[in-house]
């Protein structure tokens, strides 16, 4: 039988070569680069030919190999290579099979733009602002680097191959702008690169699931980054299964599927630490496992197993892959990954399971996963105290390094009678005590659980002040009781007299009146996941009212006058709204480094309203905005500016309010200045203003 020649370079090509090898059918596999040869690896009966070839060289090669059939498994975007292979095969009168990836139906997704070629994409990006993550490889890099205003903003993700690095350097891409790494890339990896390099645009090819296209879309959507896609060229060919049928006809042999090695992975919740707290199923999973992974504390007492003190997916998965690759055919392997407490309760098991599912799609063997829950610390602690946990709020600050958790905990304690809190150690207990005292919650009682289920377990009830003297290092959980908790207000509308006021240069620092605040906040339509800007914050009344609606809303009060910014800080302290971040600076410049907003209130813009709206649109072209105006000039300016922006759900309201005022034995109604309230939602378009 004349020889089968595969032109590879894709996952499908590697899989097909492995199938032929397992069925003892000799073949030659052509790859363009040394890196491609390394990835392919050694396989019985498979000869690898490494190096790029033009059409004439391909024709000579097919003749020398005594080729009987050619299978083209090259990348969908390698159109010229495919054309050369097809022409060379035709000149040698050799059957040619083109293996095509399945074309997935395009879905209209906001923030995703398709381009027919790299040149049109580069031209578009030249007019855009912000850093660019280029994930299309090194082949077309010269097109992007030759476009004006692009090279300095490019961060290029390429294969960790010498040739790719050399192409980057030849085009002026050097240092940390070269991201040399091998996929597949998860959504988390894409998000990490986007955040680390301040990416505003990600460029990819329409490579389908095999090329990690869905993970790029989801990462861009979550980080509000624009995605530019080079559309896949139209081509005709055969599916993977159709190619197999053709090869079976050519060889006269039924191609048996590659034997699947079986890997059983158990994610085990170990409960409260003592082996006595393991469920029977979890105990059996550990007993049957060949490999055990977990923190050193969880591995103590386990004998007769291959143990690894790893608990991160990036450390564990390479070990499992290496072990699985060296298994005999049809062999089975069992592994257990241990997690403290319950796998479904503030556990690393969820993230590990997500990464495991992505890893499964790219591994050669058969992988099954089962999760075994454990007894959570809250369940165990509540049982020790003889109480229930269903009527309490449960929070965890275990492993959290910033101080944002203090506000979240204080807000929970202020409005709930029972709050269960999971901590890492004594330092967090000290911070908790200080936070409760600072928030004037010293009347609370705190019951702490130390090293639960261990021999030195200790449970004690104390005060916030006494928490500062705890000196034992170890694992803690606590129950905070506030029997005199407040009732959370469900509406805005604190009286103006509740807010501290001040003057600057003989003029009172402005405040949005109570009635205006109520209407403006209703028109904003804030939600639990909002990120809110109060621009031209004045006394901070809008920022404070928004923060009081929910402790989960990050609020940024932007005010250019230093004295007014100080007044906002004082009002935030009075109302215990520590999640409000006061930014002293002039908008729009002061907005540059802030997280993308979902909602914004503009009470003053210092004459830069158009520039402020432009910046807001750039940061989030789908956000909700409310603007107030008192003077006729400002009203006219807003109307003219809004005609230049794509908006929907637009509403203009003029608010007239009057308050009663005593005059002797009578009460007169004294009118406040009328205020016009503009509310609208930005509408994303193809062109950024």
**What is the pLDDT of the chain when averaged over all its residues?**
88
> Looking at 5-19, 68-82, 360-374, which range is the least confident one?
360-374
| DSSP characters over 272-301 | TSSGGGS-HHHHHHHHH-SEEE--HHHHTT
Instruction: For helices 187-196 and 213-223, give the axis angle rounded to 10 degrees.
Output: 50
Q: How far apart are CA 377 and CA 569, in angstroms?
A: 38
| pLDDT above 90 for 601 | yes
167: tokens are 């192409």
Cα torsion at 33, 165, 189, 192 (round to 10°)? -170
Please indicate whether residue 365 or residue 256 has the higher confidence score (pLDDT).
256
| pLDDT above 80 for 402 | no
351: tokens are 């993230």
- CA 503 to chain centroid: 44
Q: What is the mean pLDDT of residues 589-603?
A: 94
Residues 96/32, Cβ–Cβ less than 8 Å: no
For 346-387, write each residue's pLDDT tens digit: 888 999 998 888 888 777 667 889 999 999 999 999 999 999
| pLDDT above 80 for 23 | yes
| pLDDT above 60 for 665 | yes
Cα torsion at 81, 86, 88, 94 (round to 10°)? 140
For 428-468, write each residue's pLDDT tens digit: 999 999 999 988 999 999 999 998 888 889 999 999 999 99
Q: What is the mean pLDDT of residues 611-628?
A: 94
Please indicate whether residue 182 or residue 644 has the higher confidence score (pLDDT).
644
What are the structural domains of the chain? 3-102 (3.40.50.720), 112-230 (3.40.50.620), 262-377 (3.40.1010.10), 396-481 (3.30.950.10), 496-682 (3.40.50.150)
CB atoms near residue 550 (< 10 Å): 16
Q: Give the model's confidence band at 689: pLDDT under 50 very low, under 70 low, under 90 confident, else very high.
A: very low
| pLDDT above 90 for 658 | no
| pLDDT above 90 for 266 | yes
The listed range with the strongest mean pLDDT (29-43, 93-107, 324-338) is 29-43
Q: Give the model's confidence band at 391: pLDDT under 50 very low, under 70 low, under 90 confident, else very high.
A: very high
pLDDT attached to residue 330: 47
pTM: 0.56
Q: What is the mean pLDDT of residues 631-639?
A: 87
Cis before 635 (ω within 30) = no
User: Which has the closest alpha carbon to 209: 297, 97, 105, 108?
Assistant: 105
Question: What Å distances lie between residue 572 and 437, 548, 579, CA to CA?
Answer: 17, 10, 9
User: Which has the closest alpha carbon to 621: 529, 530, 683, 686?
Assistant: 683
Q: Give the model's confidence band at 107: pLDDT under 50 very low, under 70 low, under 90 confident, else very high.
A: low
Q: How far apart are CA 248 and CA 91, in angstroms?
A: 24
Q: Give the model's confidence band at 400: pLDDT under 50 very low, under 70 low, under 90 confident, else very high.
A: confident
pLDDT attached to residue 197: 93
Residues 598/624, Cβ–Cβ less than 8 Å: yes
Percent of the chain beyond pLDDT 70? Answer: 95
| pLDDT above 90 for 631 | no
For 171-214, write each residue's pLDDT tens digit: 999 999 999 987 768 888 899 899 999 999 999 988 776 677 88
Residues 44/118, Cβ–Cβ less than 8 Å: no
């Amino acid at each position: 039988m004349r020889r089968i020649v595969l032109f590879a370079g894709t996952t499908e090509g590697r899989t097909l070569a492995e199938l032929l090898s397992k069925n003892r059918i000799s073949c030659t596999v052509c790859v363009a680069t040394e890196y491609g040869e390394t990835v392919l690896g050694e396989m019985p009966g498979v000869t690898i030919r490494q190096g790029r070839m033009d059409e004439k060289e391909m024709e000579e090669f097919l003749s020398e190999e005594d080729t009987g059939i050619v299978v083209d498994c090259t990348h969908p975007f390698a159109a010229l290579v495919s054309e050369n292979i097809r022409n060379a095969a035709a000149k040698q009168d050799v059957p040619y099979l083109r293996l095509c990836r399945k074309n997935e139906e395009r879905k209209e997704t906001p923030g995703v733009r398709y381009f027919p070629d790299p040149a049109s994409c580069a031209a578009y990006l030249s007019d855009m602002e912000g850093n660019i993550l280029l994930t299309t490889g090194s082949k077309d890099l010269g097109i992007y680097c030759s476009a004006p205003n692009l090279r300095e903003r490019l961060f290029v993700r390429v294969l960790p191959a010498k040739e790719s690095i050399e192409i980057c350097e030849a085009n002026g891409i050097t240092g940390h702008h070269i991201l040399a790494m091998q996929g597949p890339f998860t959504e988390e990896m894409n998000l990490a690169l986007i955040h680390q390099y301040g990416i505003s645009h990600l460029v990819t090819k329409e490579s389908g699931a095999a090329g990690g296209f869905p993970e790029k879309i989801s990462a861009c959507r979550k980080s509000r980054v624009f995605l530019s896609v080079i559309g896949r060229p139209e081509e005709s060919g055969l599916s993977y299964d159709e190619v197999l049928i053709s090869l079976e006809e050519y060889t006269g042999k039924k191609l048996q599927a590659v034997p699947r090695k079986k890997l059983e992975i158990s994610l085990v919740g170990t409960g409260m630490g003592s082996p006595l707290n393991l469920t029977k199923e979890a105990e059996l999973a550990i007993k049957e496992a060949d490999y055990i992974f977990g923190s050193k504390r969880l591995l103590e007492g386990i004998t007769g197993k291959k143990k690894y003190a790893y608990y991160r997916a990036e450390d564990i998965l390479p070990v499992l892959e290496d072990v699985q690759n060296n298994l005999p055919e049809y062999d089975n392997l069992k592994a257990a990954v241990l997690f403290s407490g319950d796998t479904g309760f503030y556990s690393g098991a969820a993230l590990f399971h997500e990464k495991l599912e992505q890893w499964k799609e790219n591994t050669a063997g058969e992988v099954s996963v089962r999760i075994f829950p454990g007894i959570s610390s809250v369940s165990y602690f509540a049982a020790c105290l003889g109480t229930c946990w269903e009527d309490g709020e449960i929070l965890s600050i275990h492993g959290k390094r910033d101080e944002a958790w203090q506000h979240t905990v204080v807000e929970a304690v202020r409005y709930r009678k029972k709050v269960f809190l999971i901590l890492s150690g004594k330092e967090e207990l000290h911070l908790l005590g200080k936070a409760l005292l600072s928030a004037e919650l010293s009347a609370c009682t705190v019951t702490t659980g130390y090293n639960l289920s261990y021999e030195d377990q200790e449970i004690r009830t104390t005060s916030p002040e006494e928490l500062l003297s705890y000196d034992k290092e170890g694992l803690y959980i606590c129950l905070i009781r506030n029997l005199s908790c407040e009732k959370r207000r469900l509406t805005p509308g604190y009286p103006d007299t509740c807010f501290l006021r001040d003057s600057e240069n003989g003029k009172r620092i402005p405040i949005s009146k109570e009635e205006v605040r109520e209407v403006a906040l209703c028109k904003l339509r804030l939600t639990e996941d909002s990120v809110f800007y109060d621009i031209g914050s004045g006394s901070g009344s809008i920022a404070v009212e928004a923060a009081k609606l929910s402790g989960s809303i990050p609020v940024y009060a932007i005010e250019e006058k230093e004295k007014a910014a100080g007044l906002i800080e004082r009002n935030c302290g009075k109302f215990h709204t520590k999640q409000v971040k006061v930014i002293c600076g002039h908008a729009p410049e002061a907005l540059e480094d802030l997280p993308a907003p979902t909602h914004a209130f503009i009470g003053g813009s210092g004459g830069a309203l158009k520039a402020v709206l432009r910046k807001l649109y750039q940061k989030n072209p789908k956000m909700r905005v409310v603007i107030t105006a008192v003077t006729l000039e400002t009203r006219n300016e807003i109307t003219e500016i809004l005609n230049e922006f794509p908006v929907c759900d637009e509403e203009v309201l003029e608010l007239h309010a009057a308050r009663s005022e005593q005059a002797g034995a009578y009460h007169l109604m004294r009118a406040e200045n009328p205020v016009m309230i503009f509310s609208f939602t930005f509408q994303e378009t193809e062109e950024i203003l």
